[in-house]
Amino acid sequence: MEFSTGEDLTRLSFRDWTGERALATIGTNAGSVALPFQDWRRFKEAFAPELVEMAVSETPGRVERIVDPFGGSGTTALAAQFLGINPTTIEVNPYLADLIEAKISRIDLEAAALAFARVVERAGNSVAPPQNPFPDAPRTFVEPGVDNRYIFSKAVAARLVAYRDAIMAEANEGIRRLFRVVLASAAVPVSNVTISGKGRRYRSNWQSRRVSPAAVDSWFRDGVLQALYDLRRFADRSCQEYTLLRGDARQLVNDLPQHQLAVFSPPYPNSFDYTDVYNVELWALGYLSSRGANTALRNATLRSHVQIHRDMTADDLAAKTLGETVRKLESVSERLWNRHIPSMVAAYASDMAVVIRGIGRAMPRGGRAYIVVGDSRYAEVDVPVAAILAELAPGLGFEPLRVEPFRSMRVSPQQGGRPQLSESLLVLGRR
């Protein structure tokens, strides 16, 4: 692989990246043409970067720094760089944090090309790993699994570990991070499962599907080529700076630098543990090495689910809609699949209040927060998240400016599966 370094490029803008693509809605990338960087791993539910552009254009005064307390795929941070704005991003998931930093940081592309050759050679010369290369992962991770159900065959698992170890032998941190992220993008395609916003499930044909270890070679090679191409093509973004904070957003919002704008989408209170979406990558690439580490990561996320036992103590928040919603849920408690759902909804609102208040502390008057949120429903009781947060806003230093529905999401199959839940953009102005 060769990369020219002598070309004199002007700074690339947001439009150089996005072009003039058509969007069904700026609230999601679903149905839109994938942009460079975004196809390193597909995030169907992520909002479109055009939302960041719109937020900048609507915010009074000059926007010099943008904050995203739930970094996810890095949409806000990357869009900010193309818009010439310094981004600050918080991300608790170590795999996603690496993915974001791999996209927005600069690396020596010539060195990366040479490192790629070394990694491939090391992986090819590696000895066979132990019988179970992921001893602390869930028992279903590697063949034979449990009741002969497993995510990876022994041969594919061995190939992933060979590449993982070869990557970690590289001295350059940025190159290690990039290659690790690329290898992570191969983990699900070579597995027996598929991942959606609702979790992990086995492929319909997984027992007859035969994946060769060579598929890992192909995915890794193609992924590295695509990533290096994107990094080379868009190396000269309008802004080269960034700040990435790794950890619990509820704590790290207290460490934010001054900013004029926040654009983000938090986890939705839908009783789904979002850590599970990335569980395959987290274990396969060594981001998780023990069950204790997995529990710690899940506890560091918003209290948006009841998949693990957690303290659901919530602050006493002055929001009429929140109180009414919690009381309605309590009144149908015998119909709820988990008795902790009412307290979870209250805890979620409490966590979001902490994050929004923290964002406001470092934001001058006139600054704005653009928040993409989704409603939930339990036992036919609606949880109107946008309305609840809008009511909380004045007590957190913000004025609700508008609530703009993006689209309708489907309720669970148990409730009919119809598109009845609103996903909305909540816009707040710093008072």
The pLDDT tens digits for 338-351 are 999 999 999 999 99
Of 44-48, 62-66, 123-127, least confident by mean pLDDT is: 44-48
**What confidence tier does 10 reach under pLDDT thresholds 50, 70, 90?**
low
Cβ neighbours for 279, distance < 8 A, ≥ 6 positions apart: 200
Query: Does residue 415 surpass a pLDDT of 50?
Result: no
pLDDT above 90 (res 359): yes
217 versus 2: the higher-pLDDT residue is 217
Tokens encoding 35: 């942009």
- The string of DSSP codes covering 198-217 is TEEEE-TTTTT----THHHH
Q: What is the mean pLDDT of residues 110-133?
A: 88
Burial class of residue 2, CB neighbours in 10 A (0-12, 13-18, 19+): exposed
The pLDDT value recorded for residue 396 is 97
Non-local (6+) Cβ contacts of 358 within 8 A are 69, 250, 253, 254, 256
Confidence at residue 365, expressed as pLDDT on a 0 to 100 scale: 97
- Taking the C-alpha atoms of residue 15 and residue 32, their distance in angstroms, rounded to an integer, is 16
Question: What per-residue confidence (pLDDT) applies to 274?
Answer: 81
**What's the pLDDT score for residue 272?**
75
Q: Is the pLDDT of residue 282 over 80?
A: yes
Alpha helices (H) along 253-319: 279-284, 291-299
* Integer Cα distance of 161 and 157 in angstroms: 6
On the question of a cis peptide bond just before residue 144, with omega within 30 degrees of 0, the verdict is: yes
CA distance 72 to 77: 10
Give yes or no for residue 198 having a pLDDT over 80.
Answer: no
Q: In this structure, what token pair is assigned to residue 77?
A: 């941070």
pLDDT digits (tens, 9 = 90+) for 232-260: 999 999 999 999 999 999 999 999 999 99
Start-end of H helices in 169-286: 173-187, 214-233, 249-252, 279-284
Q: Is the confidence at residue 403, as pLDDT, over 80?
A: yes
The answer to whether residue 409 scores a pLDDT higher than 70 is no
Mean pLDDT over 381-402 rounds to 97
